[in-house]
Every structure is written in structure tokens, then in C-alpha cells.
Amino acid sequence: MNRLRYILRGRLLLVTVFALLGALSKILGSLLYGSRALFVDALTSIANLASLFVVLYYLSESMKPPDTDHPFGHMRLRYGGIAAILSIYMFIAGFSAATLCYSSHGYRVEEGSAYAAITGAAFYAVAIAFSRNLDESIRVYAGFTAGELIEAGVVIPSTWLGYTKGYVFDLVGAIIILLYLFYEAIETHQHLVRAIADTSPPQRVYEEVAREAELRGLIPTIIRLRMIDEQHCSGDMIVEPRKGLTPDIADILADEVMDELHKRGCDVVIHVEYSRPWLQKGANNKSSTKK
């Protein structure tokens, strides 16, 4: 429960209420006054709201400490939320595409569509404003970003032109929003793939890991790191102790390096290797691995 409270330190209830009001105005407006652009926009708002709760659930799961079935921790469970968002996006994209196909013969857009679009956008803008206090990743994944207001910038003029000049303008608006939805889906997909593909952290993380070891007289020969999520990495490192370091001191120092890196969000297993013959005198094991 504490984990969830941490995530929800923002005003989740207010975000939900205003996002729901925005989605309701859009869905009612599109059903009552005929706008397809507003209909597709309404579906994306509902999808954002559904995404919010899926993301929250998986984020809370990902904060559990390591246990027997997940000895490396649960951090990557947060990507369950992104996978779900992708499914939600694709469902509404298919549903919208089918609706637009059936609408291609023509339909009537009434004045109310434009007013509903403005009302919906206003509610949504308030939801975005309240979502500022939420965790950054929740906001982005659940679509509570200013980028969502771009859709309003398409829907409001296209519903108005659909009413004054003809349905084609409204239909074009709907297609633009649908294309934007596919674009977002591709971006989400790429994000997910990058996240689970064991991508290397930035060079500065390698430098930081090497520096921590070198500070203690352990010279890295091989470092391999991968990102676990946006903030955490893991990997292994082979180090050679500097001349004069006895094996037990090198072990203690390697432990220190591991603790320090763990505190900074990177779990590195260090293998101390003694390749210099003068160090092996008296030591019966050639190397030791710390866990």
C-alpha cells in the first residue's frame, strides 16, 4: 500500500475526474452531433484513462523488492503497462478505422460537435494540469501530456468546418487523429523494444563504474552493463588489483565497489582476477568471484 501511496503522491482523483468529464463530453458530442473526428478523439481519451490504471498497477508491482521468483527484482514489470497500452491503442485504432470506413459515404455534422470538442478539450486541459504532480513516467505513458492537446487543435477546426462546409473536413480530421494514433503506437513499440533489449547505459555510467573501481586500486579489464529500466542497470566487471593489494583486501574493496554502485542503481557483479604471477604466490585459488 505504501508503494502505491508513493506513486499517487499527485492528485490522481482530480486527474481521473477531469479526464473522465473530457472523455464523456467527447463521446456524447460525437454520438449526438455526428462528428467522426470527435468520435476518434473520444476513443483516445478513454484509452488514456484505461492506460492510466494499467500503468499504475504495473508500476506498483515493479516496486516490490526482489523475492524467490524474481531474484533480480521486479523492475521490468513496469513494461507490462506499456504492452497493455499498445493493445489498447491497437484496439481503438481498429475500431476507429472500421467506423471511418462505414462513414465514407457521407454524414451530417451538427454545430454541437464543435462545442462538445471545445468542452472536452477544456476538461482534458485541466486533467493535464493536475497530472503535473504525478510521476513523470505515469504522465507520459498514460498520455497526460500537452501533446494530447494537439488533437484538440485538429478536432475543433475540423468539426466546425464539418458543420459549415461539409462532412469531408470532419472525416479528414478523424483520419489525421487516427494516423497520429498509429504513430504513437510505433513510438510505444520502439520504447518497449529498447527497454527489454538489454541496451547499454550511456558512456558516463561506464566511466562512473570504472572510476569507483579504480579509486580502490581495482583496474577494470572488462565491463558489461545493460539497462534494466530507465533508472537501473546491471552487469559484470572483471578487475585486476593494483600491485601490492593482497587478495583479501582486494575482495573487501570489490565488495565496497559493489555496495556503492548498488546505491546508485547499478548492480554489478565483480570478478577479481589475478593475472600477475607475483600475486599468486601463496594463494591457492587463482581468482575469486564476489556475489
Residues of the shown chain interacting with Zn ion in the complex, contacts defined by CB under 5 A: 67, 69-70
Instruction: State the Cα–Cα distance between residues 167 and 162, nearest whole angstrom.
Output: 5
Cβ distance to Zn ion smaller for residue 11 or 70: 70
Q: How far is the CB of 74 from Zn ion (least distance, A)?
A: 6
Q: How far is the CB of 71 from Zn ion (least distance, A)?
A: 9
Q: How far is the CB of 70 from Zn ion (least distance, A)?
A: 4
Cβ distance to Zn ion smaller for residue 48 or 62: 62
| Residue in the block written with cell 565491463 | 223
Q: 63, 4, 70, 72: which is closest to 262 by C-alpha?
A: 72
Partner residues linked to 241 by β-bridges: 218
How far are the Cα atoms of 56, 81, 262 from residue 27, in angstroms, in the given order? 24, 25, 49
Partner residues linked to 234 by β-bridges: 226, 267
Partner residues linked to 3 by β-bridges: none
Q: How far is the CB of 258 from Zn ion (least distance, A)?
A: 23
Residue nearest to Zn ion (CB): 70
Q: How far is the CB of 60 from Zn ion (least distance, A)?
A: 13
Instruction: State the Cα–Cα distance between residues 42 and 33, nearest whole angstrom.
Output: 13
Cβ distance to Zn ion smaller for residue 4 or 150: 4
Cβ distance to Zn ion smaller for residue 69 or 136: 69
Cβ distance to Zn ion smaller for residue 67 or 136: 67
In degrees, rounded to 5, the angle at the alpha carbon of residue 7 between the alpha carbons of residues 53 and 47 is 20
Q: How far is the CB of 75 from Zn ion (least distance, A)?
A: 11
Q: How far is the CB of 9 from Zn ion (least distance, A)?
A: 25
Cβ distance to Zn ion smaller for residue 3 or 11: 3
Q: Does residue 161 contact residue 169 with C-beta atoms inside 8 Å?
A: yes
How far are the Cα atoms of 33, 213, 286 from residue 223, in angstroms, in the given order? 62, 11, 20
Instruction: State the Cα–Cα distance between residues 73 and 75, nearest whole angstrom.
Output: 6
How far are the Cα atoms of 42, 50, 82, 116, 161 from residue 15, in angstroms, in the given order? 16, 13, 20, 19, 31
Cβ distance to Zn ion smaller for residue 64 or 242: 64
